[in-house]
Structure 1
Amino acid sequence: MTYDAVVVGGGPSGATAAEDLARAGKRVALLDRVGRIKPCGGAIPPRLIVDFDIPDSQLVARITTARMISPTGRHVDIPIENGFVGMVDREHFDEFLRARAARTGAHRHTGTFLRIERDGDGPRVIYRDRATQEERTLATRLVIGADGARSEVARQEMPGGSTIPYVIAYHEIISAPAPTGTYDPDRCDVVYDGRISPDFYGWVFPHGAQASVGMGTAVNGVNLKTATAALREAAGLAGCDTIRREGAPIPLRPLDRWDNGHDLVLAGDAAGVVAPSSGEGIYYAMVGGRVAATAALSALVTGRPRDLSTARKMFMKEHKTVFKVLRSMQDAYYKSDERRERFVSLCHDVDVQKLTFEAYMNKKLVTARPMAHLRIGLKNIAHLTRLVPEAYT
């Protein structure tokens, strides 16, 4: 069989691309290593639940409050009005998406991607079968590379694909305790403290009977396990049983180009689509898979390889401004504990709370409140120029 598309990588991005193409009646192969669980807080916004038809059975918790914690231990609790943030466990969520793609018609293959070879009949994806350890071949018309932040497809096939900047994320899945003075199963804690992460943040995210406790950093030499142990101690979770430990890179910015102009397009972490500042990736990965599938479908129908470039264009048209704002916020506030302290102070502001979570829930900037945007801009300037005291609330 010659497939219309081979999707390399079976995370949320690859599984979404494979499902969308299969639903469109295309012959699709989904190649995944299986067995790897990405470290991830697991938060998914309401828009993802609706856009990608995620059933309630996949939600292990519903978060109604976000707590921002400063380097000095001050905190602000932000209620999530008119909804909730869903939490998923990647161990089960990713497999649910892969299985759904297979039920739609995608052919699953389990193994490790090795290389792409080409001849007059088009590309052939070579992989090592997990069960037999033999090399096998998938002939195809197009390839979608959705194999993560250190994408082997991108490294081999795309200029600059091996140099994308990233942070290393590490977390521990633990047995969650009952509600205590420091832990609430309905609340996500985000810790902005240089002792935990000098350039990013730490988190405590409930997962029902479990919780994800972790941090991320791009600074060499930081001991991820020691920092996470300190975070668990501060959160009163040091004595909880550890179920598993996971680490992986998270890309910091989208690649300038996602396609090779011929027969390949990248999606998800392989294309660098993780939100700056928050590190949120599941929603943007699935959108990346969807636009990659849309671009691939167009190229298959028209026979124009240049249509593959529309994947990045579609994504950036909707999300470029949000990414730019979040990058500016990270650059402004994550560089020192003094700035992090000010950022948490700014989070006390009602305008900041409402606009931030409306944008998060709906995945677009709120434009209906120009005066609120103006007030936030002025408050940002006041904090960054130290016109207000550090402990301003």
Structure 2
Amino acid sequence: MSYDVVVVGGGPAGATAAEDLARVGKRVALLDREGRIKPCGGAIPPRLMKDFDIRDAQLVAKIDTARMISPTGRYVDIPIENGFVGMVDRKDFDPFLRARAEKAGAHRFTGTFLRLERDEGRTALVFRDKQSGEEKHLQTQYVIGADGARSDVARAEVPGGDKIPYVIAYHEIIDAPEAVGNYAPNRCDVIYDGRISPDFYGWVFPHGKTCSVGMGTGVDGFDLKEATAELRQRAGLAQCETLRKEGAPIPLRPLDKWDNDRDVVLAGDAAGVVAPSSGEGIYYAMYGGRVAAQAVQAALASGRAQDLQLARRTFMKEHKNVFRALQAMQDSYYHTDERRERFVSLCHDVDVQRLTFEAYMNKKLVRKRPLAHLRIGIKNIAHLTGLVSPLRT
């Protein structure tokens, strides 16, 4: 079995890379473990739906409001003007993407990556077949590692791939009613409270007939399940039936290098492409899978391994400014409850609301309102220096 590329990992990044390469006629193998569901709020913006041809049929809900909640329980509701945030359930969305890659021509294999073997310029990917338990070999020219935040491919093949920082995310999928307590099926709640997460945030995200309730933290020893139980209690969802419990690492920043200068390039969580501050990963994973596929196409055409570097260069050219702005916001506001209180107060500002959601929907920093940017900068400094008091709602 010989391929142009073997993609390891069948989540949004890997499935997108496999589909893109198969659609241009490349011989593609997609290796996935199957049966693993990543904990994820499931939010996807309209740009993702447009860029990756995701139809409404894949959505379990459409959200028109985001509620930001402070440590003291004060909140601001932010309407999503002229659009919506789509919600997907990863237990259904990921298999849909894998099936679409297979339909495009990718060959599916189910098993666990073990290692790469090289002999006289030829590369073989070795995996353990899930059904037989046997070791199997796939001959390939290139490998795309899209196997998650603690990627085995990255740790084995890419410098720095064993040192990626991450937080642990945990959520529970529950059987949610139409509306109960503080829960609304058309609203995403984001909770900034050190009792829920000392360094990140908690969430209550509707999924149609179900709901994702969870949080993330990088603090060792913090009780994620207890914090999630508290979230459910606050939202009035404590008595709802629990359908699934899931936990996994989420990377904190992109790796400095995504390839091994030879035959491997990373994508998605394996490359560290989760947005700071928000933890948003699905769009960036799929875009990362796309640019990894483009880099492999270039390398196949030229025979130059250095073309694999195009993946990171293309991604960072498009998104580094957004990542830097979000990282600065997280560094400024996420580490004390006093700062979290001020952050939620800042979110009352109409300029902040509009520019934030325009950037989220379009995945670009909005530059068409220079005066709004100036006003936000001044207000941000005022909140960080304590020149203003947090608003009361």
TM-score range relative to shorter protein: over 0.9
- Residue 212 of structure 1 corresponds to 212
Which string of whole-angstrom CA distances, capped at 9 and with x for unpartnered residues, describes residues 283-311 of structure 1?
A: 00000000000000000011111100000
Task: Compute the displacement of 1:160 (Å).
Answer: 1.2
Q: What is the aligned partner in structure 2 of residue 364 from structure 1? A: 364
Which runs of structure 2 are paired with 1:143-292 in the superposition (5 Å)?
A: 143-292=143-292
In the alignment, structure 1 residue 307 sits paired with structure 2 residue 307: yes
- Partner residue in 2 for 1:341: 341
**Distance between the aligned counterparts of 1:70 and 1:30, measured in 2?**
43
Aligned partner of residue 364 in structure 1, secondary structure = coil
Q: Taking structure 2 as the reference length, what is the TM-score of the superposition?
A: 0.99
8 Å contact from structure 2 (residues 180, 237) kept in 1: no
Aligned residue number for residue 28 of structure 1: 28
| AA of the residue aligned to 1:150 | R
The one-letter amino acid of 1:342's match is R
Q: CA deviation at 1:2?
A: 1.4
CA contact (8 A) 1:179 1:185 kept: yes
**Dislocated runs of 4+, deviation >6 Å:** none
Alpha-carbon distance between aligned partners in 1 of 2:226 and 2:345, rounded to the nearest angstrom: 27
| Aligned partner of residue 246 in structure 1, secondary structure | strand
Q: Per-residue deviation at 1:55?
A: 1.6
Give the Cα separation in 1 of the matches to 2:298 and 2:131. Answer: 35
Contact 2:144 2:267 (8 Å CA) reproduced: yes
Paired residues of 1:158 and 1:260 also in contact (CA < 8 A): yes
CA separation in 2, counterparts of 1:37 and 1:120? 38
* Contact 1:295–1:309 (Cα < 8 Å) also in 2: yes
For structure 2, list consecutive stretches of 5 or more residues without a partner in the other structure: none
Tell me the SS of whatever aligns to 1:315: helix
**Aligned twin of 1:332:** 332
Deviation at 1:390, TM superposition (A): 2.7
Unmatched 5+ stretches in structure 1: none
- SS in structure 2 opposite 1:277? coil
Letter in 1 for 2:9: G
- Counterpart in the other structure of 1:298: 298
> 8 Å contact 1:46–1:85 — kept in the other structure?
yes
Hey, what's the Cα distance between the residues in 2 that align with 1:90 and 1:77? 26
What is the CA distance between 1:57 and its match in structure 2? 1.2
Q: 2:46–2:86: 8 Å Cα contact kept in structure 1? A: yes
Offset of residue 63 of structure 1: 0.2
SS, match of residue 29 in structure 2: strand
Q: CA RMSD in A?
A: 0.8
When the two structures are superposed, what TM-score results if normalisation uses the length of structure 1? 0.99
Distance 2:385 2:122 in 1: 57
Distance 2:120 2:62 in 1: 52
Counterpart amino acid of residue 305 in structure 2 = P
8 Å contact kept, 2:74–2:392: no
Contact 1:355 1:366 in 2 (8 A): yes
Rounded to whole Å, the distance in 1 between the matches of 2:122 and 2:185 is 51
Could you tell me which amino acid in structure 2 is paired with residue 43 of structure 1? A
SS in 2 for 1:269: helix
Q: CA deviation at 1:122?
A: 1.8
Opposite residue 48 of structure 1, the aligned amino acid is: L
Deviation at 1:121, TM superposition (A): 4.2
Q: Is the 8 A contact 1:254 1:272 kept in 2?
A: yes
Q: Are the counterparts in 2 of residues 145 and 265 from structure 1 also a CA contact under 8 Å?
A: yes
Q: Contact 1:338/1:390 (CA < 8 Å) preserved in 2?
A: no
Whole-Å separation in 1 of the counterparts to 2:295 and 2:161: 20
> Aligned partners of 1:390 and 1:186: how far apart in 2?
27
Distance 1:106 1:353 in 2: 42
Counterpart amino acid of residue 69 in structure 1 = I
Q: Show CA shifts across 1:36-83 (max 9, x none).
A: 000000000000000000021110000000000000000000000001
The aligned counterpart of 2:14 is 14
Distance apart, 1:157 and its partner CA = 0.6
Task: Say if 2:181 and 2:237, in contact at 8 Å, map to a contact too.
Answer: no
How far apart are the structure 1 equivalents of 2:48 and 2:378? 32
* 3-state secondary structure, aligned to 1:188: strand
Structure 1 Cα separation of the partners of residues 177 and 29 of structure 2? 42
